[in-house]
Chains A and B, each alone.
Chain A
Amino acid sequence: MAESFDRKRLAPLKDTVAIVGVGETDYAADYRGAGGRAVGKGEARYDSYTLASRALKRALDDAGLKKDEIDGLCTGPTLSGERASELWGLNPRWSGSGDAAQCIIEATMAINCGLCTTVALVYGNAQRSMDTAYGGARVTGGGITSYFYYAPWGMTSQGALYALFFQRHKLLYGTTDEQLGAIAVAFRKHACLNPNAVMQKPLTIEDYMKAPYVAEPLRLFDYCLINDGGVAIIVRRADMAKGLKQPPVMVSGIGWSEENVDATQLRPRLKDFYHTAHRGVAAQVYPMAGVTPKDVDVFATYDSFSVHLLASLEGFGFCKEGEGGPFVQNGRIEIGGQIPCNTSGGMLSESYMQSWNHQPELVRQLRGGLGARQVQGAEVAQYVHDVAGKCKSIIYTKGAE
């Protein structure tokens, strides 16, 4: 099939918008609770709007902007755009919703169309307080999704879908559990350098292997956290992004490609590891940003499960297909290694903000000054949203101050 996107129209969008502010809630403190005890699931303390509001205030303070300078709003999937606007006293000239990468791409489009100049992207999720279930009998939803369709056979949970994925990877390429374990161990190392990460206890490969299976071959530490939190990101037209409180971080590349045909059959997952979508996104995001995987200094991928990293490193060409297992070992994905991945600790060890927490971390890495967690000389950062074939990517670069 011929290339269906227009490189000539995409290229000029490079560096036309910037991230000027980021804000997050206190993941670790909120998880521990006031008395130092971990908050139990279903022990409601917050709602999603409380967390989103806090993050928004912090992002505006970080940028040095007032809320009345916001003229566009994107909300994450747990928030209603109308209620969020009302709560924050906003009458946006444009609004959108979706995952973090989707919102960044849509905000880039809206700003470039001239509909607005300064968009707040806001997410909040009180999933621990509300005891949200991602598997089992309490999972409900509209229409077909690939796991509750198979409930009569006992099949359920996002984790089991990734277990099937990893089992297939093992069968085809001989990938080992110890190789997969290197991912959880690396992310935990990063979390231990991040005071806002929920998980602060070091994790060895022995700890990883000793932990119980959930859906075999995945073990406990292959699974993300379930915690409360909020994230906000302020995206602004590039010519209005200078002279603010923080140096701007440029949106230099965007890409989007979905692989939904036969999704309920699990075909794109098990027969392709979503690599068709990865290649589609790579063909847009790298040429637009004018970089290749070799130029990426810091990388983050959606990591509800450790397995996502194997898929995205292989699919975006950081290593060959099937070689993700050996690639993630020997410190290669750790800070100081060849390609530091999920440097905040990611959703496995920092906070499960369904991709939103990865954006502030990449922005901070490009701003610099993170101490022991800093990736030295970071100038190019990439986020890959590899979620059930709905693939997107953003390349951020350090802007001129």
Chain B
Amino acid sequence: MATARPIRSMDPYAEQFWAYTQKNEFRLQQCTDCSKFRWPPGPTCDQCLSDAFEWAAIAGQGKVLSWTTFRRGYFQEYPAPHTVIVLELDEGPLFVSYPVDVELADLREGMVLALRWTDGEDRFGAYNLPVFGRSPA
């Protein structure tokens, strides 16, 4: 039984994003016409309105922009305290996730973190959740 998590927001595009995570692949839609990466998943490129795209693998690295620590519990799956971070991915999009193997006191603005995987499950099924930790190198 995978770790139960609060429910994902699902639509036909999100479904594809999460399907790749089952193979530990972090892919974002990249516009075929103008090469822009987008997040969250959706039907159209916001730069050129093209609906042609591919699911491109990303480098899996980002810089820390900000974070917050929940001192009050909101979800039974996430008892307080727990921390959420926002990263700027190398490909451009910002991404909300949580840190692993990094103490709150060690988080720094601009710190580079790398993609890790952990498991997850909700009523849509099992998947893997992209989280971020110190680079292996």
- Chain A residues with a Cβ under 8 A of chain B: 135-137, 144, 148-157, 160, 163-165, 167-168, 171-172, 212-218, 261-262, 264-267, 270-271
Contacts and interface: CB of A to CB of B under 8 A. Distances in A.
B74 A137 contact: yes
B80 to A, nearest CB: 9
Instruction: Summarize B's interface: helix, strand, loop or mixed.
Output: strand
B94 A153 contact: no
Given A164-B86, A171-B109, A267-B94, A151 B68 contact: no
Given A136-B75, A153-B129, A216-B71, A265 B9 contact: no
Contact of B75 (A154, A163, A265): A154
B33 interface: no
B98 A154 contact: yes
B72 interface: yes
Interface string B62-80: 0001111111101111100
- Give 8 nearest A-B pairs by CB, closest first: A154-B78, A151-B6, A136-B74, A163-B68, A213-B71, A265-B94, A168-B66, A171-B109
A264 B95 CA distance: 9
Nearest to B68: A163
Nearest to A264: B40
A149 B40 contact: yes
14 contacts: A148-B9, A151-B5, A156-B74, A157-B74, A160-B84, A164-B68, A164-B86, A212-B71, A214-B72, A216-B70, A262-B93, A265-B95, A270-B65, A270-B86
Nearest to A172: B109
A152 B129 contact: yes
A137 B5 CA distance: 11
Contact of B68 (A136, A152, A217, A261): A217
B82 A152 contact: no
Contacts of B93: 262, 265
Interface string B82-115: 1010100000011111100000000001000000
A262 B7 CA distance: 22
A136 B75 CA distance: 6
Given A215-B72, A216-B69, 15 more contacts: A149-B9, A149-B40, A150-B96, A152-B7, A152-B122, A153-B131, A154-B77, A154-B82, A163-B68, A167-B68, A168-B65, A215-B71, A216-B70, A266-B96, A270-B94
Interface residues of B, number: 35
B100 to A, nearest CB: 11
B46 interface: yes
A167 B67 contact: yes
Interface in B103-137: 109, 120, 122, 129, 131
A137 B66 contact: no
Nearest to B122: A152
Nearest to B81: A216
A155 B84 contact: yes
Nearest to B88: A271
Contacts of A271: 65, 94
Contacts of A172: 109
